[in-house]
Amino acid sequence: MIQDNQKNFSRLQMLIDAIVIAVTYVLAWMIRFIGPFAYSAVRALAFEEYMFALIFIIPGYLLLYQAFTLYEPLHMQGRRLVLANIIKANVLGLLLIVFSLYMMGESDFSRLTVYIFCVINIFAEWGVRLFIFSMLRKMRKRGLNQKQMILVGYSRAAEEYIDRIQQNPQWGYVVRGILDDNVPSGTVYNGIKVIGRIANLSVILPANRLDEIAITLGLSEYYRLEEIVGMCEKSGVHTKFIPDYNKIIPTKPYTEDILGLPVINIRYVPLSNTFNAMVKRMMDVVGAIMAIIVSSPVMLLMCILIKLTSPGPLIYRQERVGLHNKNFWMYKFRSMEIQPEAEEKKAWTVKNDPRVTGIGKFMRRTSIDELPQLFNILKGDMSLVGPRPERPFFVEKFREEIPRYMVKHQVRPGLTGWAQVNGYRGDTSIRKRIDCDLYYIENWSIGFDIKILFLTIFKGFINKNAY
């Protein structure tokens, strides 16, 4: 139900955004052709022709807002981050509009109108979100649209559920207390008290106006589930079950129905869906071809500099582990002196490593040495976005040391990834890198890929941890 509430709220927010985009766009046109900038305006296109562009602008901007997590709860992100994402989405939208006009050869469309629209829309979207957040907060303080509930069972699941409810007041849930047989009455967690024993349900349910019951029993008490569910069902109160299996299944499982038999899948991997995988592969091929064309002058220059500064091949091949644990040869511009393969396999480069050439230091710092991997993407060994691949030696090492390390091989490795744009590159925490990789694997979407590629342009290429 919480997810349904959040989805409905996000849909309402998208509708409001569509209206705001349309209104600010019309306002920008009025400022340009009727308001203070009208003296220099040349109306080469009719009003209707400008408005026709909204057919593409509105859905385009909504997709950008989705990619920049603007439909996540404001309370969870913080106001500054939301404002930053609004600015990023609008600036990228502006660039895409101007680029589209250039590609279509449309010289009569007023660029100033687009610039005005971008500025006004940023302020309008920010103001609307602040207004909605303020109204929701006032409603909660007055006790409007709140759902009263109690938890049955004190466990890790109960604590995590309380944390999430308190972090998201817009959901409107109020936890009145916890019932448990093993924790003393009066015990408090984040302001929520243990108010009695589980047997008190038979008294509490008829006497209180509760909207929901959440069963949050610990694993050792699951034998009582049937009894508790039966009591709740008799009262007619909506009941939900929150399993306490985070340490057993530390991921995001999902349930499917197999001819009436519920089956829990331990991990949700969107790219295991054939259609999703095909869409991502199409994006990879088109993106790689475009990137090769754009970066070809840089790659040609690097070839010349590598050849002039050190003897040896231009391209360096290194064995890496990819999709379904299959090994492949990953390409890079050679940034080190030639060395025996046995020595190269032993360890990563370190700070001031004497094996790295002069031009190699620059290529590593700017990630230019990774550009030949665009051809790995065309071959199907890699993707534009995904977990970075590792050498077989380190894969064998990390699979024993780091829980869930091998899950990253359920998708194609990437040229860039969520870990890289969050700063986990080179000599950084492997565990945090894996956490980012798992988050990406379980939350993949086209919008998420676009966001990572966009962030890579701004902060993913320069690698301060590369030696």
Residues 68 and 126 in one domain: yes
Q: How confident is the model at residue 35 (pLDDT cuts 50, 70, 90)?
A: confident
Q: Which amino acid is it at 321?
A: V
Residues 69 and 162 in one domain: no
Identify whether 115 is part of a domain.
yes
Domain interval for residue 188: 147-248
Residues 278 and 391 in one domain: yes
Identify whether 383 is part of a domain.
yes
Find all residues with CB under 8 Å of 457, minimum gap 6, and list them: none
Quick one: pLDDT at residue 237?
80
Residues 110 and 172 in one domain: no
Quick one: pLDDT at residue 460?
55
Residues 455 and 369 in one domain: yes
CATH code of the domain in which 241 resides? 3.40.50.720
E strands, 153-295, where?
Answer: 173-179, 188-189, 192-196, 212-215, 238-241, 254-258, 261-265
CA–CA separation, 297 and 295 (whole Å): 6
Among 141, 175, 193, give the residue marking a domain's end. Answer: 141
Quick one: pLDDT at residue 461?
59
Identify whether 121 is part of a domain.
yes
Identify whether 259 is part of a domain.
no
pLDDT digits (tens, 9 = 90+) for 323-347: 999 999 999 988 887 766 655 555 5
Could you tell me which residue, 415 or 267, shows the higher pLDDT? Answer: 415
Q: How confident is the model at residue 415 (pLDDT cuts 50, 70, 90)?
A: very high
Residues 137 and 151 in one domain: no
CB distance 216 to 158 below 8 Å: yes
The encoded tokens of residue 284 equal 């990879």
Identify whether 253 is part of a domain.
no
Identify whether 62 is part of a domain.
yes
Among 141, 170, 195, give the residue marking a domain's end. Answer: 141
Quick one: average pLDDT of 416-431?
83
Residues 39 and 132 in one domain: yes
Identify whether 362 is part of a domain.
yes
Domain count, the chain: 3
CA–CA separation, 226 and 23 (whole Å): 55
Residues 371 and 412 in one domain: yes
Quick one: pLDDT at residue 247?
65
Helix (H, G, I), strand (E, B) or coil at 105: coil
pLDDT digits (tens, 9 = 90+) for 207-256: 767 888 899 998 888 888 888 888 887 777 888 888 887 666 666 677 77
Per-residue exposure over 318-347, b if at least 16 CB sit within 10 Å of its own CB, e if not = eebbbbeeeebebbbbbbbeeeeeeeeeee
Distances (CA, A) of 378 to 101, 325, 370, 455: 29, 19, 14, 22
Residues 22 and 53 in one domain: yes
DSSP annotation of 181 reads S
CA–CA separation, 46 and 27 (whole Å): 15
Among 126, 141, 156, give the residue marking a domain's end. Answer: 141
Residues 95 and 196 in one domain: no
pLDDT digits (tens, 9 = 90+) for 359-410: 888 888 888 889 999 999 999 999 999 999 999 988 988 888 887 888 899 9
Residues 415 and 314 in one domain: yes
Beta bridge partner(s), residue 152: 179, 215
Could you tell me which residue, 69 or 154, shows the higher pLDDT? Answer: 154
Identify whether 333 is part of a domain.
yes
Residues 326 and 423 in one domain: yes
